[in-house]
Protein backbone atom coordinates (compact mmCIF):
# COMPACT_ATOMS: atom_id res chain seq x y z
CA UNK A 1 0.00 0.00 0.00
CA UNK A 2 1.32 3.43 -0.97
CA UNK A 3 -0.03 6.41 0.97
CA UNK A 4 -0.51 9.52 -1.16
CA UNK A 5 -1.93 13.02 -0.76
CA UNK A 6 -3.96 15.16 -3.16
CA UNK A 7 -2.03 18.27 -4.24
CA UNK A 8 -3.31 20.79 -6.79
CA UNK A 9 0.04 22.24 -7.87
CA UNK A 10 2.10 25.16 -6.64
CA UNK A 11 -0.02 27.73 -8.51
CA UNK A 12 -3.33 26.58 -7.02
CA UNK A 13 -2.59 24.80 -3.75
CA UNK A 14 -1.55 26.78 -0.65
CA UNK A 15 -0.05 23.65 0.92
CA UNK A 16 3.72 23.40 0.30
CA UNK A 17 5.07 20.05 -0.77
CA UNK A 18 7.48 20.12 2.19
CA UNK A 19 4.49 19.99 4.56
CA UNK A 20 3.12 16.93 2.79
CA UNK A 21 6.54 15.29 2.95
CA UNK A 22 6.46 15.64 6.74
CA UNK A 23 3.33 13.46 7.08
CA UNK A 24 4.49 10.01 8.28
CA UNK A 25 4.40 7.18 5.73
CA UNK A 26 3.73 9.55 2.82
CA UNK A 27 5.10 8.20 -0.47
CA UNK A 28 3.88 10.76 -2.97
CA UNK A 29 1.26 13.17 -4.19
CA UNK A 30 -1.65 12.83 -6.57
CA UNK A 31 -1.75 15.83 -8.86
CA UNK A 32 -2.81 17.16 -12.25
CA UNK A 33 -2.39 20.04 -14.67
CA UNK A 34 -5.42 21.81 -13.30
CA UNK A 35 -5.59 24.53 -15.95
CA UNK A 36 -5.69 22.12 -18.88
CA UNK A 37 -9.21 22.06 -20.38
CA UNK A 38 -10.96 18.75 -20.95
CA UNK A 39 -9.92 17.24 -24.26
CA UNK A 40 -6.63 19.10 -24.53
CA UNK A 41 -3.30 17.39 -25.24
CA UNK A 42 -1.01 17.72 -22.24
CA UNK A 43 2.40 19.22 -23.15
CA UNK A 44 5.36 16.93 -22.44
CA UNK A 45 7.41 19.75 -20.95
CA UNK A 46 4.69 20.60 -18.41
CA UNK A 47 4.32 16.97 -17.37
CA UNK A 48 8.08 16.77 -16.84
CA UNK A 49 8.15 20.04 -14.90
CA UNK A 50 5.39 18.87 -12.54
CA UNK A 51 7.13 15.55 -11.97
CA UNK A 52 10.46 17.28 -11.33
CA UNK A 53 8.92 19.66 -8.81
CA UNK A 54 7.35 16.79 -6.89
CA UNK A 55 10.48 14.62 -7.05
CA UNK A 56 12.65 17.51 -5.85
CA UNK A 57 10.51 17.56 -2.69
CA UNK A 58 11.32 13.89 -2.08
CA UNK A 59 7.91 12.63 -3.21
CA UNK A 60 6.66 10.42 -6.05
CA UNK A 61 4.22 11.41 -8.79
CA UNK A 62 2.75 8.11 -9.96
CA UNK A 63 -0.98 8.96 -9.91
CA UNK A 64 -2.72 11.68 -11.92
CA UNK A 65 -6.19 12.86 -10.92
CA UNK A 66 -7.62 13.74 -13.36
CA UNK A 67 -7.24 13.81 -17.12
CA UNK A 68 -10.77 15.07 -17.70
CA UNK A 69 -13.01 13.56 -20.38
CA UNK A 70 -14.43 16.00 -22.93
CA UNK A 71 -18.23 16.19 -23.00
CA UNK A 72 -18.27 15.27 -26.71
CA UNK A 73 -16.89 11.84 -25.75
CA UNK A 74 -19.62 11.31 -23.16
CA UNK A 75 -22.23 12.53 -25.64
CA UNK A 76 -20.90 10.28 -28.42
CA UNK A 77 -20.58 13.13 -30.92
CA UNK A 78 -18.58 12.73 -34.17
CA UNK A 79 -16.01 15.19 -32.79
CA UNK A 80 -15.13 12.75 -30.00
CA UNK A 81 -12.39 11.04 -32.02
CA UNK A 82 -10.22 14.16 -31.97
CA UNK A 83 -10.46 14.40 -28.19
CA UNK A 84 -9.90 10.67 -27.76
CA UNK A 85 -6.74 10.92 -29.85
CA UNK A 86 -5.52 13.70 -27.55
CA UNK A 87 -6.31 11.48 -24.58
CA UNK A 88 -4.34 8.60 -26.08
CA UNK A 89 -1.32 10.83 -26.64
CA UNK A 90 -1.60 12.25 -23.12
CA UNK A 91 -1.66 8.73 -21.67
CA UNK A 92 1.49 7.89 -23.63
CA UNK A 93 3.27 11.01 -22.39
CA UNK A 94 2.27 10.36 -18.79
CA UNK A 95 3.42 6.76 -19.06
CA UNK A 96 6.79 7.89 -20.39
CA UNK A 97 7.06 10.18 -17.34
CA UNK A 98 6.53 7.27 -14.95
CA UNK A 99 2.84 7.75 -14.14
CA UNK A 100 1.19 4.43 -13.24
CA UNK A 101 -2.48 5.34 -12.67
CA UNK A 102 -4.89 7.89 -14.14
CA UNK A 103 -8.06 8.56 -12.16
CA UNK A 104 -10.94 9.89 -14.26
CA UNK A 105 -14.72 10.08 -14.15
CA UNK A 106 -17.52 9.80 -16.69
CA UNK A 107 -20.12 12.04 -15.02
CA UNK A 108 -22.19 14.10 -17.49
CA UNK A 109 -21.85 17.88 -17.08
CA UNK A 110 -21.20 17.96 -13.31
CA UNK A 111 -18.36 16.50 -11.31
CA UNK A 112 -18.83 16.02 -7.57
CA UNK A 113 -21.58 18.21 -6.18
CA UNK A 114 -22.23 19.63 -2.72
CA UNK A 115 -24.97 21.97 -1.51
CA UNK A 116 -22.93 23.41 1.37
CA UNK A 117 -19.19 24.02 1.33
CA UNK A 118 -18.88 24.97 5.00
CA UNK A 119 -21.59 23.42 7.12
CA UNK A 120 -20.76 24.21 10.76
CA UNK A 121 -20.47 21.37 13.25
CA UNK A 122 -20.88 21.49 17.00
CA UNK A 123 -17.14 20.89 17.46
CA UNK A 124 -16.35 24.06 15.50
CA UNK A 125 -15.26 22.31 12.32
CA UNK A 126 -16.78 23.07 8.91
CA UNK A 127 -17.63 20.31 6.45
CA UNK A 128 -18.89 19.71 2.94
CA UNK A 129 -22.52 18.59 2.88
CA UNK A 130 -25.17 17.48 0.39
CA UNK A 131 -28.96 17.72 0.50
CA UNK A 132 -30.87 16.23 -2.44
CA UNK A 133 -34.01 18.21 -1.54
CA UNK A 134 -32.14 21.44 -2.33
CA UNK A 135 -31.05 20.07 -5.72
CA UNK A 136 -34.63 19.00 -6.44
CA UNK A 137 -35.81 22.59 -5.98
CA UNK A 138 -33.54 23.89 -8.76
CA UNK A 139 -35.66 24.29 -11.89
CA UNK A 140 -33.23 26.38 -13.97
CA UNK A 141 -29.73 24.83 -14.06
CA UNK A 142 -28.38 27.72 -16.14
CA UNK A 143 -29.41 30.29 -13.53
CA UNK A 144 -27.89 27.95 -10.96
CA UNK A 145 -24.61 27.94 -12.91
CA UNK A 146 -24.67 31.72 -13.26
CA UNK A 147 -24.94 32.05 -9.47
CA UNK A 148 -21.87 29.88 -9.03
CA UNK A 149 -19.86 31.90 -11.57
CA UNK A 150 -20.80 35.09 -9.77
CA UNK A 151 -19.65 33.67 -6.45
CA UNK A 152 -23.15 33.41 -5.03
CA UNK A 153 -24.38 30.45 -3.05
CA UNK A 154 -22.47 27.60 -1.48
CA UNK A 155 -22.58 25.04 -4.27
CA UNK A 156 -19.44 23.40 -5.57
CA UNK A 157 -18.88 22.06 -9.06
CA UNK A 158 -15.36 20.68 -8.93
CA UNK A 159 -13.18 21.17 -11.99
CA UNK A 160 -15.63 23.42 -13.82
CA UNK A 161 -14.17 26.05 -16.11
CA UNK A 162 -16.22 29.24 -16.68
CA UNK A 163 -16.50 28.47 -20.41
CA UNK A 164 -18.28 25.20 -19.71
CA UNK A 165 -20.54 26.74 -17.12
CA UNK A 166 -21.62 29.27 -19.75
CA UNK A 167 -22.63 26.39 -22.03
CA UNK A 168 -24.78 24.66 -19.46
CA UNK A 169 -28.09 25.24 -21.25
CA UNK A 170 -26.64 23.83 -24.48
CA UNK A 171 -25.21 20.79 -22.66
CA UNK A 172 -28.54 20.01 -21.00
CA UNK A 173 -30.22 20.13 -24.40
CA UNK A 174 -27.62 17.75 -25.82
CA UNK A 175 -28.00 15.30 -22.93
CA UNK A 176 -31.80 15.32 -23.16
CA UNK A 177 -31.69 12.34 -25.52
CA UNK A 178 -28.78 10.49 -23.84
CA UNK A 179 -29.83 7.45 -21.80
CA UNK A 180 -27.90 5.33 -19.35
CA UNK A 181 -27.38 2.77 -22.12
CA UNK A 182 -26.01 5.48 -24.40
CA UNK A 183 -23.55 6.50 -21.70
CA UNK A 184 -22.38 2.90 -21.27
CA UNK A 185 -21.87 2.61 -25.05
CA UNK A 186 -19.96 5.89 -25.19
CA UNK A 187 -17.74 4.83 -22.32
CA UNK A 188 -17.02 1.53 -24.06
CA UNK A 189 -16.10 3.38 -27.26
CA UNK A 190 -13.65 5.52 -25.28
CA UNK A 191 -12.14 2.56 -23.42
CA UNK A 192 -11.68 0.47 -26.56
CA UNK A 193 -9.65 3.29 -28.05
CA UNK A 194 -7.59 4.18 -24.96
CA UNK A 195 -6.93 0.90 -23.11
CA UNK A 196 -4.51 -0.45 -25.78
CA UNK A 197 -2.36 2.65 -25.22
CA UNK A 198 -2.59 2.11 -21.47
CA UNK A 199 -1.37 -1.45 -21.93
CA UNK A 200 1.49 -0.29 -24.15
CA UNK A 201 2.72 2.34 -21.68
CA UNK A 202 1.78 0.51 -18.45
CA UNK A 203 -0.72 3.12 -17.25
CA UNK A 204 -3.86 1.91 -15.51
CA UNK A 205 -7.15 3.77 -15.96
CA UNK A 206 -9.25 3.97 -12.78
CA UNK A 207 -12.79 5.30 -13.06
CA UNK A 208 -14.06 7.28 -10.07
CA UNK A 209 -17.61 6.66 -8.84
CA UNK A 210 -20.26 9.28 -9.47
CA UNK A 211 -20.64 11.63 -6.53
CA UNK A 212 -23.34 11.36 -5.32
CA UNK A 213 -23.98 7.96 -6.94
CA UNK A 214 -27.38 8.69 -8.44
CA UNK A 215 -28.82 10.82 -11.25
CA UNK A 216 -28.94 14.56 -10.59
CA UNK A 217 -30.76 17.23 -12.62
CA UNK A 218 -32.17 14.37 -14.71
CA UNK A 219 -28.71 13.54 -16.07
CA UNK A 220 -27.78 9.85 -16.30
CA UNK A 221 -25.04 8.48 -14.09
CA UNK A 222 -23.63 4.99 -14.44
CA UNK A 223 -20.79 4.42 -11.95
CA UNK A 224 -23.15 4.13 -9.01
CA UNK A 225 -23.15 0.59 -7.56
CA UNK A 226 -21.44 -2.81 -7.68
CA UNK A 227 -23.61 -4.06 -10.54
CA UNK A 228 -22.68 -1.12 -12.75
CA UNK A 229 -19.00 -1.37 -11.80
CA UNK A 230 -19.03 -5.01 -12.92
CA UNK A 231 -20.47 -3.90 -16.23
CA UNK A 232 -17.94 -1.07 -16.65
CA UNK A 233 -15.02 -3.42 -15.99
CA UNK A 234 -16.42 -5.87 -18.54
CA UNK A 235 -16.73 -3.22 -21.29
CA UNK A 236 -13.06 -3.83 -21.98
CA UNK A 237 -11.88 -6.83 -19.98
CA UNK A 238 -8.35 -5.73 -19.28
CA UNK A 239 -6.55 -5.25 -15.95
CA UNK A 240 -5.80 -1.73 -17.21
CA UNK A 241 -9.51 -0.92 -17.09
CA UNK A 242 -9.99 -0.47 -13.38
CA UNK A 243 -11.58 1.41 -10.53
CA UNK A 244 -10.85 4.24 -8.14
CA UNK A 245 -12.97 3.08 -5.23
CA UNK A 246 -14.00 6.16 -3.27
CA UNK A 247 -15.63 5.05 -0.04
CA UNK A 248 -17.32 8.42 0.49
CA UNK A 249 -18.73 8.75 -3.02
CA UNK A 250 -20.00 5.20 -3.40
CA UNK A 251 -20.82 4.98 0.29
CA UNK A 252 -23.12 8.01 0.24
CA UNK A 253 -25.75 5.57 -0.96
CA UNK A 254 -26.26 3.38 2.15
CA UNK A 255 -27.25 0.45 -0.10
CA UNK A 256 -23.63 0.19 -1.30
CA UNK A 257 -21.53 -2.20 0.82
CA UNK A 258 -18.00 -0.78 0.55
CA UNK A 259 -16.06 -3.63 2.27
CA UNK A 260 -17.86 -6.12 0.00
CA UNK A 261 -16.92 -4.08 -3.06
CA UNK A 262 -13.29 -3.93 -1.92
CA UNK A 263 -13.24 -7.69 -1.51
CA UNK A 264 -14.87 -8.37 -4.88
CA UNK A 265 -13.01 -5.94 -7.11
CA UNK A 266 -9.80 -5.92 -5.07
CA UNK A 267 -9.50 -9.69 -5.32
CA UNK A 268 -9.75 -9.29 -9.10
CA UNK A 269 -6.90 -6.76 -9.09
CA UNK A 270 -9.18 -4.10 -10.54
CA UNK A 271 -8.92 -1.45 -7.78
CA UNK A 272 -5.97 0.69 -8.79
CA UNK A 273 -6.58 3.64 -6.50
CA UNK A 274 -8.39 3.94 -3.16
CA UNK A 275 -9.98 7.10 -1.79
CA UNK A 276 -10.75 6.28 1.83
CA UNK A 277 -12.89 8.80 3.70
CA UNK A 278 -15.92 8.91 5.93
CA UNK A 279 -19.35 10.49 5.74
CA UNK A 280 -22.26 10.89 8.12
CA UNK A 281 -25.82 10.23 6.96
CA UNK A 282 -28.15 13.02 8.09
CA UNK A 283 -31.35 11.99 6.29
CA UNK A 284 -32.65 10.48 3.04
CA UNK A 285 -30.44 11.81 0.25
CA UNK A 286 -28.50 13.83 2.81
CA UNK A 287 -24.96 13.44 4.09
CA UNK A 288 -22.03 15.45 5.35
CA UNK A 289 -18.30 14.78 5.40
CA UNK A 290 -16.83 13.46 8.64
CA UNK A 291 -13.44 12.82 10.17
CA UNK A 292 -11.77 9.66 8.87
CA UNK A 293 -12.08 8.10 12.35
CA UNK A 294 -14.84 5.48 12.21
CA UNK A 295 -16.55 6.79 15.34
CA UNK A 296 -17.20 10.16 13.69
CA UNK A 297 -19.10 8.94 10.63
CA UNK A 298 -21.48 6.30 9.32
CA UNK A 299 -18.86 4.18 7.55
CA UNK A 300 -16.62 1.68 9.33
CA UNK A 301 -13.16 2.53 8.05
CA UNK A 302 -11.58 -0.30 10.01
CA UNK A 303 -13.67 -2.82 8.07
CA UNK A 304 -12.89 -1.04 4.80
CA UNK A 305 -9.14 -1.07 5.48
CA UNK A 306 -9.34 -4.69 6.67
CA UNK A 307 -10.95 -5.62 3.36
CA UNK A 308 -8.09 -3.96 1.47
CA UNK A 309 -5.58 -5.79 3.64
CA UNK A 310 -7.34 -9.13 3.23
CA UNK A 311 -7.21 -8.94 -0.58
CA UNK A 312 -3.51 -7.99 -0.52
CA UNK A 313 -4.04 -4.48 -1.89
CA UNK A 314 -0.69 -3.00 -2.94
CA UNK A 315 -1.91 0.04 -4.86
CA UNK A 316 -2.26 3.71 -4.09
CA UNK A 317 -4.45 5.10 -1.33
CA UNK A 318 -5.18 8.59 -0.10
CA UNK A 319 -7.28 10.30 2.53
CA UNK A 320 -10.04 12.26 0.85
CA UNK A 321 -12.21 15.24 1.75
CA UNK A 322 -11.45 16.42 5.27
CA UNK A 323 -13.07 18.79 7.70
CA UNK A 324 -11.76 22.33 7.90
CA UNK A 325 -10.40 22.44 11.46
CA UNK A 326 -8.22 24.65 13.65
CA UNK A 327 -9.41 27.77 11.76
CA UNK A 328 -7.66 26.65 8.57
CA UNK A 329 -8.65 28.54 5.42
CA UNK A 330 -8.33 27.20 1.90
CA UNK A 331 -9.94 24.93 -0.67
CA UNK A 332 -13.10 23.48 0.89
CA UNK A 333 -12.54 19.87 1.90
CA UNK A 334 -8.86 19.98 0.99
CA UNK A 335 -7.17 21.57 3.97
CA UNK A 336 -3.94 20.16 5.29
CA UNK A 337 -4.74 19.44 8.91
CA UNK A 338 -7.67 17.03 8.84
CA UNK A 339 -6.42 15.17 5.77
CA UNK A 340 -3.02 14.75 7.46
CA UNK A 341 -4.81 13.33 10.50
CA UNK A 342 -6.72 11.05 8.15
CA UNK A 343 -3.55 9.82 6.45
CA UNK A 344 -1.96 8.97 9.80
CA UNK A 345 -5.15 7.25 10.99
CA UNK A 346 -5.28 5.08 7.86
CA UNK A 347 -1.57 4.26 8.18
CA UNK A 348 -2.14 3.30 11.81
CA UNK A 349 -4.99 0.96 10.88
CA UNK A 350 -2.80 -0.61 8.20
CA UNK A 351 0.11 -1.11 10.60
CA UNK A 352 -2.19 -2.80 13.08
CA UNK A 353 -3.60 -5.06 10.38
CA UNK A 354 -0.11 -5.95 9.18
CA UNK A 355 1.14 -6.83 12.67
CA UNK A 356 -2.06 -8.66 13.54
CA UNK A 357 -1.68 -10.93 10.52
CA UNK A 358 1.78 -12.15 11.57
Q: Which residues are known to be catalytic?
A: 208, 246, 275, 320-321, 334
In the DSSP assignment, the letter for residue 216 is: B
In contact, 11 and 50? CB cutoff 8 Å? no
The overall longest dimension of the chain from CA atoms, in Å, is 58
d(CA 171, CA 178) in angstroms, rounded, equals 11
Question: What is the CA angle 300-302-308, rounded to 5?
Answer: 110
In sequence order, what are the beta bridge partners of 126?
A: 120, 324
Q: Which of 251, 218, 211, 224 is nearest to 113 (CA)?
A: 211
d(CA 166, CA 235) in angstroms, rounded, equals 33
Angle at which helices 301-310 and 258-267 cross, to 10°:
10
Contacts of 77 by beta carbon, 8 Å cutoff, 6+ apart: none
323 dihedral zone (left: phi>0; alpha: psi -120 to 50; beta):
beta
d(CA 164, CA 169) in angstroms, rounded, equals 10
d(CA 325, CA 127) in angstroms, rounded, equals 9
Contacts of 323 by beta carbon, 8 Å cutoff, 6+ apart: 121, 125, 126, 127, 289, 290, 291, 335, 338
The phi, psi pair for 114, rounded to 5°, reads -135, 150
In sequence order, what are the beta bridge partners of 280?
A: 288
- The alpha-helical segments, DSSP class H, found in 141-297 are 141-149, 162-166, 168-175, 180-201, 226-235, 247-251, 258-267
Amino acid sequence: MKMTFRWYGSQMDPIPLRYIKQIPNMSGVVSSLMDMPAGALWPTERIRALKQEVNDAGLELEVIESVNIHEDIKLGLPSRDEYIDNYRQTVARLGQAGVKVICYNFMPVFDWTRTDLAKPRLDGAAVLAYDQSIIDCITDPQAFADRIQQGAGDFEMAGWEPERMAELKKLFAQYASVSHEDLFRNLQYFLKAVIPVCEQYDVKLAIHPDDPPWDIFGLPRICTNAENVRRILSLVDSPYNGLTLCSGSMGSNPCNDIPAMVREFGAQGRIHFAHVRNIRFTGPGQFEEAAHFSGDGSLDLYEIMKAYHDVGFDGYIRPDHGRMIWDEQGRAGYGLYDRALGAVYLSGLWEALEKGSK
